[in-house]
Chain A
Amino acid sequence: MRIQVNGVWRETAVAQLAAALMELGYGDSIVSTALNGEFVAVGERAATPLAEGDQLEVLAPMQGG
């Protein structure tokens, strides 16, 4: 299944957000997620299904003014 991760098409074998994050290499990272423009809290990730063409944002702390 193909989904967009931070604007880049990626292949994922799992159709669930928490598992997909592990598969994509975000295992122990402190990140926040949004799926198709909607915030998905850490506690909701395991119960959030993924579908072909979904747009996933994975954000982390960064410098800002």
Chain B
Amino acid sequence: MLELYQRALRSRLFLGSARYPSPAVLAEAVRAARVEVVTVSLRRESSGERAGQGFWALIRDLGVQVLPNTAGCHSVKEAVTTAHMAREVFATPWIKLEVIGEDDTLQPDVFGLTEAARILCAEGFQVFPYTTEDLVVAERLLQAGCRVLMPWGAPIGSGRGLNNLFGLKALRAHFPEVPLIIDAGIGVPSHAAQALELGFDAVLINTAVAQARDPVAMAGAFALAVEAGYAARTAGPIEARDLAQPSTPVLGSAFRA
């Protein structure tokens, strides 16, 4: 079982709730993949449309743990205020903390991130910081009180998989006891399987499922990949080698002098 802030979870696949063809498809994808954690957000509500009310009713009916994000926040102040608003509406201390530093890559502003994490952890939030693979930043986030880290695989929505394998492996090796969840950039189930094989504890997928031709089938495919990747990690993968090594025993080979 995966344990995040004293909450035990069976599923290592987290789903984002954005960009699905319809709310019904989102709900079906969550059920198909037996997902337990779904990310949500806050947006301006028009009193005429009340779009948020219907969405919230749908999510509540799914019976999942929600992980609210601070997506779109570009400053510490915005992110902290959004976190307070999210805690009230969603009634959870969990917050996926995003402080965006650059609009083309949506890469985190790690300086603002650590500052916002320090403030929110001190206020009792259970912070899931969206960060890079940088080891020093990771250390600062842990010092700030974070007990889970969410390093990116690649820029949000890019579908490029694990962009910096070396950096991500180093992060995993440096913090063997810290739950690490790959947050962004996963494109296909093999990327997710790879993340689990490398020892990452879970993956958060949104675009790769929501924008697939058949999101429900793709959610199921990701669930299988995550399960396979975790099973492989537990089974102990072999080390890669530069040269061949015969798998068939050489002793007793025919036609040898």
Contact with A along B155-177 (1 / 0, CB 8 A): 01100000000000000000000
Partner of A61, one of B59, B82, B204: B59
Complex Cα distance, B50 from A26, in Å, reads: 8
Complex Cα distance, B204 from A22, in Å, reads: 38
A64 touches B45 (CB 8 A): no
B residues with a Cβ closer than 8 A to A are 16-20, 26, 39-48, 50-53, 55-56, 59, 68-69, 71, 77-78, 81-82, 84-86, 88-90, 156-157, 204, 206-207
Identify the interface centre among B17, B40, B47, B90: most chain A CB within 10 Å of its CB.
Answer: B47
Give the 9 A-B residue pairs with the shortest CB-CB distance, closest first.
A64-B41, A60-B52, A25-B47, A65-B16, A60-B45, A32-B85, A65-B206, A62-B43, A61-B56
Number of interface residues, chain A, beta carbon within 8 A? 25
Q: A30-B52, A37-B81 are in contact. Are A61 and B156 (CB under 8 A)?
A: no
Known: A62-B40, A64-B69, A65-B16. 14 other contacts (CB 8 A): A29-B53, A30-B89, A57-B85, A59-B45, A59-B82, A60-B56, A61-B40, A61-B90, A63-B19, A63-B20, A63-B40, A65-B19, A65-B39, A65-B69
Q: Which residue of B lies closest to A62 (CB)?
A: B43
Count, A-B residue pairs, CB within 8 A: 114
B55 touches A63 (CB 8 A): yes
Q: Which residue of A lies closest to B86 (CB)?
A: A32
Partner of A62, one of B20, B42, B77: B42
Q: Which residue of A lies closest to B59 (CB)?
A: A61
A65 touches B18 (CB 8 A): yes
In this assembly, does A3 line the interface, its C-beta being within 8 Å of a C-beta of chain B? no
Partner of A37, one of B53, B77, B156: B77
Residues of B close to A62: CB separation below 8 A = 40-43, 51-52, 55
Distance (whole angstroms) from the CB of A15 to the closest CB of chain B: 19
Identify the interface centre among A30, A33, A38, A63: most chain B CB within 10 Å of its CB.
Answer: A63
In this assembly, does A9 line the interface, its C-beta being within 8 Å of a C-beta of chain B? no
Residues of B close to A29: CB separation below 8 A = 45, 47, 50, 52-53
Residues of B close to A34: CB separation below 8 A = 81, 85
